[in-house]
Amino acid sequence: MRIDSHHHFWNYSPEAYPWIGDDMRVLKRDFAPVDLKPLLDEHGIAGVVSVQARAEEVENDFLLKQAAAHDWILGVVGWLDLSAPDAPEKVARFAEQPKAVGLREVLQGMAERDYCLREDFNRGLAALHDFGLAYDLLIYGDQLAAATQCVDRHPAQTFVLDHLAKPVIGSPVGVDAGWATAIHELAKRENVFCKLSGMVTEVIPALDDWDPDLLGPWFDVVFEAFGPDRLMFGSDWPVCLLRGEYADWIQCVEFWISELGEAEKTAILGETARRAYGLA
């Protein structure tokens, strides 16, 4: 079963989505299940995981209602302020929803770069394991060391690294050695998974185009670090439209894994996501 482990829906307004800047005009409209389903059908993708795109609790209700209306939306990764005093109670209520599978914070945007090491945040994060919820790490490379320390505080908690921690792709110096070392260190923790997603939007603006060969060295790093059993395909649609179409990205991933065995392909294209998020 093919699963897209990472996509978004939204009813666009500038107030609700201030992160969508003037240089992202293609994203300044509504994106709904009716827009995504034809793309999934075209590529034989049977299910998806919807991921929060705004740090508000109403986002959870919005995504869970979409999931309840469409059986192919298998799970929702929502948002809660895990540093709040009542975070454990809110985690419990969120987990009661049938398709609630995880939570994430927009750590990449925090001025406090090691926010994930705060005691109040970790008290909230500790509640997820009791309800079988995964935690998505949305970070940049400079936060990998802190994220690894955070993971070590919760050895039984499932973590999913989004977008390879957003490395800079396409610079003349190639793969940053510090990022690669930090990825390998994080991957030593068997409770951490990684999404093959969000790479095209990290290609430097100076490059008008990209192809699998350009992005390949970064894929090689995470494949070596995590292996197929902890890697999962994610489109990051519709954000991926900033640098390409849905078809471009899935064909890129299919190219990378074309010489793998069938079990390894099955893992990356769906089975890993099913296990990490406990999808039906």
When pLDDT is cut at 50, 70 and 90, the band that residue 69 belongs to is very high
pLDDT in tens, 15-57: 999 999 999 999 999 999 999 999 999 999 999 999 999 999 9
* Token output for 2: 């093919």
Average pLDDT of the chain?
97
SS3 call for 162: coil
pLDDT on residue 93: 98
With a pLDDT cut of 70, the percent of the chain lying above it is 100
pLDDT on residue 186: 98
pLDDT on residue 47: 98
**Could you tell me the domains of the chain?**
2-277 (3.20.20.140)
Q: Give the C-alpha separation, 141 to 177, whole Å.
A: 11
Q: Can you give the length of the chain in residues?
A: 280
Q: Which residues contact 268 (CB under 8 A, 6 or more apart)?
A: 196, 228, 231, 232, 233, 253, 257, 260
DSSP string, 79-132: ---TTSTTHHHHHHHHHTSTTEEEEEE-GGG-SSTTGGG-HHHHHHHTTTGGGT
Question: If you average pLDDT over residues 95-115, what whole number do you get?
Answer: 97
Whether omega for the bond prior to residue 172 falls within 30 degrees of 0, making it cis, is no
Q: Is the pLDDT of residue 86 over 90?
A: yes
* Token output for 267: 């893992």
pLDDT on residue 238: 98
Question: If you average pLDDT over residues 235-255, what whole number do you get?
Answer: 98
Q: How many beta carbons lie within 10 A of that of residue 206, not counting itself?
A: 8
pLDDT in tens, 124-167: 999 999 999 999 999 999 999 999 999 999 999 999 999 999 99
Q: Where are the beta strands (DSSP E) in the chain?
A: 2-7, 45-51, 73-78, 100-105, 134-137, 159-161, 192-196, 231-233
pLDDT in tens, 176-197: 999 999 999 999 999 999 999 9
With a pLDDT cut of 90, the percent of the chain lying above it is 99
When pLDDT is cut at 50, 70 and 90, the band that residue 280 belongs to is confident
Q: Is the pLDDT of residue 73 over 90?
A: yes
DSSP 31: B
This prediction's pTM: 0.97
SS3 call for 178: helix
Question: If you average pLDDT over residues 263-274, what whole number do you get?
Answer: 98
Q: How many beta carbons lie within 10 A of that of residue 85, not counting itself?
A: 10
